[in-house]
């Protein structure tokens, strides 16, 4: 293990343990106003009238007519209104906000205000949607000829459900408009996303908007775009509040029903096989985007780029669509589109192998990409692909092949066991040209005369440990004790835009900029002087430029890799299944703090297992999300996986700090496929959907 990988006490450990860390809900409420959003009860409707309501003194409402700038939330394509105008597009679409000094009174008024709607036909099922927000096509080789010449063609459809981020701290913001400046702080991943959104909605120049991240109780992607929406709504209220702060903090039910979650998907794979080898894939991916586009374009891009999996396939045709439905807009969740397609491709490969009479792992191993091979988009896997070594590590930890053989031979009884394995990657950093064309990250280091150094960047610590790891990098280059390097929660008045905390980019991309800044500061160091150095992102020379119009080039500079095996036992009388063990090897390059990275790997792995099984979320026949509490949306905990073993396989990335690559999202991505491969063996059936419930397990075995 490298010196830098040795674990330290996290920078934010003490304040979180002693309670001094201030989350948005912890700020003293004297003099604050409270806001409550009134939302559409219909999946699609025309807003006819907001009935006049005699508000008590000190109370007011805001709606789209109060938006001083443009009534659009800047995300990617700005079709999300701050407050709905004529048409509401999903149950929960915000129409107005009630604001006033007493929270209970605000809630009462919000429940009494009458909005008259004219209901309109709504599209609730993605299969009925005729509106594609985005429709991408790309490919390579000659799939038509490959299909014509195939020995056999396989076709299957795979379906995945919602997944709710289930961060412990719900969404919340506090905004104040004073001295012609809008200041806002709250629970968020991306201060400059919020900054840009408020500037547009309020029609303010950038210097008149200030965004500060509060200590944040988890994000997992759920605080990537949604805080921009809530921030604009609260900012509009603050603009009217005569200098008083306005606070909106969601309750759990509101948070679960009305904020973004993972896109449900339908993927159809047609696969040509000749001489026992996959020669072509024709892939059609449909994501349910919900009522507005929010982040769907980029989530879909990552999903379809990953859709052929870790396999070398010469001929590919991919179509991906994000369809509009009148349901809650879906968005970022750890993995960002890739868990959906990795589930599909891994199950597809298992099913083809079974039909060919070959063990899935052996079949997959014959198709693995290697260093130097082309990617799905005509880029190159520039760096070593350590999957063969990682498979061997997982074999050793789990006894996969031996168990596989044993369970294949087992007689069917009430309790059945199965073991499955999945292989996957996660593209490290932004998809395509985002980093080069849009983010253009800037970081600074500020040294005070006393020799202490402060990191100036816009990364947010949302539990993943970035405060600690960035400080470790800078302290290491400057030979300073760790407590002489500080990193505060980002404040846009003080820090440059080093980009959002998304896409497993912070440590790899911003960490490397800070390492270079530290090297420069070291060479220019002057004792007892105040100094600032700056470093800007430059795309590495080896990268083949990516063009989104053609889906051509390196979608990612490098990849993180994963192999995981899962063992299950199913009670075929009740359908209940237990995970007996999960073993995984993860390559995220050099861990910049071993404990932090292993914690990330274990947590993501568990989220992936939950996604495949117990995390069931659905809309009812009116389009309303039914599972709106932690008692009917169950997430796994450590007791759900009695044996959990993670191995860090280190394949250093020469352009990441000390060899580090993107880490955060990787561990979740392929876990559903590993779990369901194990369930297939236990149940002797094919599985094409997640979440896979106890009822599903019963249904599959009832007739045997």
Choose, by CB under 6 A, the member of 169, 224, 477, 602 that binds ligand MOS: 224
| Least spacing, CB of residue 75 vs ligand MOS, in Å | 13
Compute CA distances 604 → 10, 339, 663, whole Å.
Answer: 19, 12, 10
Choose, by CB under 6 A, the member of 75, 278, 313, 503 that binds ligand MOS: 503
Q: Name which of 330 and 398 has its Cβ closer to ligand MOS.
A: 330
Number of residues this chain uses to bind ligand MOS (CB under 6 A) = 9
State both tokens at 700.
């599959």
Cα 535-536-539 angle, rounded to 5 deg? 130
| Least spacing, CB of residue 220 vs ligand MOS, in Å | 7
617, 629 contact by CB (below 8 A): no
Query: What 8-state DSSP symbol labels residue 486?
Result: E
Q: Is the dihedral of CA 162, 167, 169, 171 positive or negative?
A: negative
| Least spacing, CB of residue 487 vs ligand MOS, in Å | 19
| Least spacing, CB of residue 702 vs ligand MOS, in Å | 38
| Least spacing, CB of residue 694 vs ligand MOS, in Å | 29
206, 199 contact by CB (below 8 A): yes
Q: Give kind and range of the element (H or E) at residue 33.
A: strand 33-39
Rounded CA gap, 326 and 270, in Å? 30
| Least spacing, CB of residue 240 vs ligand MOS, in Å | 31
Rounded CA gap, 583 and 157, in Å? 28
617, 163 contact by CB (below 8 A): yes
Choose, by CB under 6 A, the member of 502, 508, 597, 676 that binds ligand MOS: 502
Q: Name which of 83 and 430 has its Cβ closer to ligand MOS.
A: 430
Q: Which residues contact 427 (CB under 8 A, 6 or more apart)?
A: 302, 305, 306, 338, 555, 556, 559, 662
Does 334 bind ligand MOS (CB under 6 A)? Our answer is yes
Q: Name which of 39 and 262 has its Cβ closer to ligand MOS.
A: 262
Q: Which residues contact 218 (CB under 8 A, 6 or more apart)?
A: 165, 167, 168, 169, 462, 463
Binding segment for ligand MOS among 81-89, 318-326, 329-337, 531-539 (CB under 6 A)? 329-337
In the three-class reduction of DSSP (H, G, I as helix; E, B as strand; rest coil), residue 402 is classed as helix
Binding segment for ligand MOS among 66-74, 119-127, 242-250, 330-338 (CB under 6 A)? 330-338
Binding segment for ligand MOS among 155-163, 201-209, 332-340, 596-604 (CB under 6 A)? 332-340
Q: Name which of 230 and 280 has its Cβ closer to ligand MOS.
A: 230
Choose, by CB under 6 A, the member of 147, 292, 333, 611 that binds ligand MOS: 333
Q: Name which of 189 and 468 has its Cβ closer to ligand MOS.
A: 189
Rounded CA gap, 189 and 28, in Å? 23
Does 461 bind ligand MOS (CB under 6 A)? Our answer is no
Choose, by CB under 6 A, the member of 73, 285, 332, 517 that binds ligand MOS: 332
| Least spacing, CB of residue 300 vs ligand MOS, in Å | 13
Rounded CA gap, 49 and 120, in Å? 15
Binding segment for ligand MOS among 1-9, 196-204, 326-334, 623-631 (CB under 6 A)? 326-334
Q: Name which of 235 and 502 has its Cβ closer to ligand MOS.
A: 502
207, 172 contact by CB (below 8 A): no
Query: What 8-state DSSP symbol labels residue 589?
Result: B
Q: Is the dihedral of CA 551, 556, 561, 566 positive or negative?
A: negative
Q: Give kind and range of the element (H or E) at residue 147.
A: helix 143-148
| Least spacing, CB of residue 109 vs ligand MOS, in Å | 35
* Strands 559-571 vs 577-587: parallel, antiparallel or unpaired: antiparallel
| Least spacing, CB of residue 221 vs ligand MOS, in Å | 3
Query: Can you give 419-479 as a three-state secondary structure string?
Result: EEEEEEEEECCCCCCHHHHHHCCEEEEEECCCCCEEEECCCCCCCCCHHHHHHHHHHHHHC
Does 221 bind ligand MOS (CB under 6 A)? Our answer is yes
Does 611 bind ligand MOS (CB under 6 A)? Our answer is no
Compute CA distances 650 → 370, 466, 515, 549, 592, whole Å.
Answer: 17, 19, 20, 34, 11
| Least spacing, CB of residue 431 vs ligand MOS, in Å | 9
Does residue 691 have a cis bond before it (omega within 30 degrees)? Answer: yes
| Least spacing, CB of residue 519 vs ligand MOS, in Å | 28
Helix then strand then coil, % of the chain, to nearest 5: 30, 25, 45
| Least spacing, CB of residue 422 vs ligand MOS, in Å | 20
Binding segment for ligand MOS among 99-107, 319-327, 333-341, 628-636 (CB under 6 A)? 333-341
| Least spacing, CB of residue 461 vs ligand MOS, in Å | 13
Judged on CB neighbours under 10 Å (0-12, 13-18, 19+), 127 is exposed
Rounded CA gap, 218 and 292, in Å? 24
Q: Name which of 349 and 502 has its Cβ closer to ligand MOS.
A: 502
Q: Name which of 333 and 586 has its Cβ closer to ligand MOS.
A: 333
| Least spacing, CB of residue 617 vs ligand MOS, in Å | 17
Q: Which residue is nearest to ligand MOS (CB)?
A: 221
Q: What mask, x for binding ligand MOS by CB under 6 A, covers residues 420 to 449?
A: ------------------------------
Does 661 bind ligand MOS (CB under 6 A)? Our answer is no
Residues 12 to 31: which contact ligand MOS by CB under 6 A? Answer: none
Choose, by CB under 6 A, the member of 158, 177, 269, 336 that binds ligand MOS: 336
| Least spacing, CB of residue 525 vs ligand MOS, in Å | 36
Q: Name which of 334 and 416 has its Cβ closer to ligand MOS.
A: 334
Q: How far from chain centre, in Å, is Cα 174? A: 24
Q: Name which of 174 and 503 has its Cβ closer to ligand MOS.
A: 503
| Site of tokens 């004529």 | 86
| Site of tokens 């509060």 | 214
Q: Name which of 236 and 457 has its Cβ closer to ligand MOS.
A: 457
Q: Name which of 138 and 336 has its Cβ closer to ligand MOS.
A: 336
Q: Name which of 503 and 655 has its Cβ closer to ligand MOS.
A: 503
677, 352 contact by CB (below 8 A): no
Q: Name which of 445 and 502 has its Cβ closer to ligand MOS.
A: 502
State both tokens at 354.
């079974």
Binding segment for ligand MOS among 136-144, 328-336, 440-448, 531-539 (CB under 6 A)? 328-336
Rounded CA gap, 333 and 162, in Å? 10
Rounded CA gap, 595 and 469, in Å? 11
312, 156 contact by CB (below 8 A): no
| Least spacing, CB of residue 667 vs ligand MOS, in Å | 13
Q: What mask, x for binding ligand MOS by CB under 6 A, covers residues 173 to 192?
A: ----------------x---
Q: How far from chain centre, in Å, is Cα 549? A: 24
498, 535 contact by CB (below 8 A): no
| Least spacing, CB of residue 600 vs ligand MOS, in Å | 13
Residues 635 to 654: which contact ligand MOS by CB under 6 A? Answer: none
Q: Name which of 489 and 577 has its Cβ closer to ligand MOS.
A: 489
168, 226 contact by CB (below 8 A): no
| Least spacing, CB of residue 230 vs ligand MOS, in Å | 16
185, 216 contact by CB (below 8 A): no
Q: Name which of 183 and 509 has its Cβ closer to ligand MOS.
A: 509
What residues line the site for ligand MOS (CB under 6 A)?
189, 221, 224, 332-334, 336, 502-503
């Amino acid at each position: 293990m490298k010196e830098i990988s040795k674990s330290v006490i996290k920078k934010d450990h003490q304040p979180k343990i002693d309670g001094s860390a201030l989350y948005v809900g912890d700020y003293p409420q004297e003099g604050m106003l409270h806001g409550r959003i009134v939302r559409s009860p219909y999946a699609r409707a025309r807003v006819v009238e907001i009935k006049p309501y005699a508000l008590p003194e000190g109370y007011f409402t805001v709606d789209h007519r109060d938006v001083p700038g443009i009534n659009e939330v800047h995300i990617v394509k700005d079709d999300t209104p701050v407050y709905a105008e004529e048409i509401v597009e999903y149950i929960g679409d915000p129409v107005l906000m009630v604001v006033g000094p007493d929270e209970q009174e605000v809630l009462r008024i919000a429940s009494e205000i009458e909005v008259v709607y004219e209901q309109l036909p709504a599209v609730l099922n993605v299969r009925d949607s005729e509106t594609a927000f985005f429709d991408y096509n790309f490919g390579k080789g000659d799939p038509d000829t490959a299909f014509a010449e195939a020995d056999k063609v396989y076709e299957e459809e795979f379906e995945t459900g919602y997944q709710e981020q289930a961060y412990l701290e719900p969404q919340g913001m506090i905004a104040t408009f004073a001295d012609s400046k809008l200041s806002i702080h709250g629970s968020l991943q991306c201060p400059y996303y919020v900054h840009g959104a408020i500037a547009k909605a309020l029609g303010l120049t950038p210097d008149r908007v200030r965004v500060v991240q509060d200590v944040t109780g988890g994000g997992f992607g759920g605080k990537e775009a949604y805080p921009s929406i809530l921030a604009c709504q609260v900012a509009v209220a603050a603009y009217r509040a005569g200098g008083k702060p306005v606070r909106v903090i969601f309750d759990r039910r509101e948070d679960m029903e009305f904020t973004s979650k993972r896109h449900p998907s339908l993927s159809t794979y047609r696969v040509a096989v000749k001489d026992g080898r996959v020669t072509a894939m024709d892939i059609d991916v449909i994501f349910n985007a919900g009522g507005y586009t929010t982040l769907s374009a980029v989530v879909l891009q990552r999903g379809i780029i990953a859709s052929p999996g870790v396999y070398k396939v010469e001929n590919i045709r991919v179509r991906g669509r994000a369809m509009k439905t009148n349901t809650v807009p879906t968005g970022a969740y750890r993995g960002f589109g890739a868990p959906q397609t990795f589930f599909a491709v891994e199950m597809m490969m298992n099913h083809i192998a079974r039909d060919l009479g070959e063990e899935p792992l052996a079949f997959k191993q014959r198709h693995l990409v290697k260093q130097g091979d082309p990617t799905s988009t005509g880029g190159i896997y520039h760096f070593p692909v350590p999957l063969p070594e990682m498979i061997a590590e997982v074999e050793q930890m789990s006894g996969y092949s031996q168990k596989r053989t044993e369970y294949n031979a087992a007689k069917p009884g009430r309790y059945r066991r199965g073991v499955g394995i999945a292989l996957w990657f996660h593209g490290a950093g932004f998809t395509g040209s985002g980093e080069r064309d849009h983010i253009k990250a800037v970081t600074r280091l500020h040294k005070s005369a006393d020799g202490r150094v402060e990191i100036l960047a816009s990364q947010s610590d949302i539990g993943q440990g970035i405060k600690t790891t960035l400080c470790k990098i800078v302290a290491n280059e400057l030979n300073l004790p760790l407590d002489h390097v500080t990193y505060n929660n980002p404040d846009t008045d003080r820090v440059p835009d080093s980009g959002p905390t998304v896409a497993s980019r912070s440590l790899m991309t911003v960490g490397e900029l800070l390492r270079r800044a530290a090297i420069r500061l070291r060479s220019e160091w002057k004792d007892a002087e105040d100094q600032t150095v700056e470093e800007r992102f430059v795309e590495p020379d080896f990268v083949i430029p990516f063009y989104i119009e053609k889906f051509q080039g390196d979608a990612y500079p490098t990849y993180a890799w994963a192999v995981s095996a899962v063992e299950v036992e199913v009670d075929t009388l009740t359908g209940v299944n237990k995970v007996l063990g999960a073993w995984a090897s993860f390559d995220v390059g050099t861990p910049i703090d071993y404990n932090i990275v292993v914690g990330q790997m274990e947590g993501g792995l568990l989220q992936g297992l939950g996604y495949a099984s117990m995390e069931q979320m659905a809309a009812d026949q009116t389009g309303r999300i039914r599972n709106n509490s932690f008692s009917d949306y169950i997430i796994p905990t450590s007791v759900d996986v009695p044996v959990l073993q993670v191995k860090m396989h280190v394949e250093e990335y020469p352009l990441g700090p000390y060899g580090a690559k993107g880490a955060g999202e990787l561990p979740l991505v392929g876990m559903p496929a590993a779990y369901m491969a194990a369930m297939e063996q236990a149940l002797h059936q094919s599985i094409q959907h997640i979440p896979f419930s106890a009822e599903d397990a019963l249904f599959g075995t009832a007739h045997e």
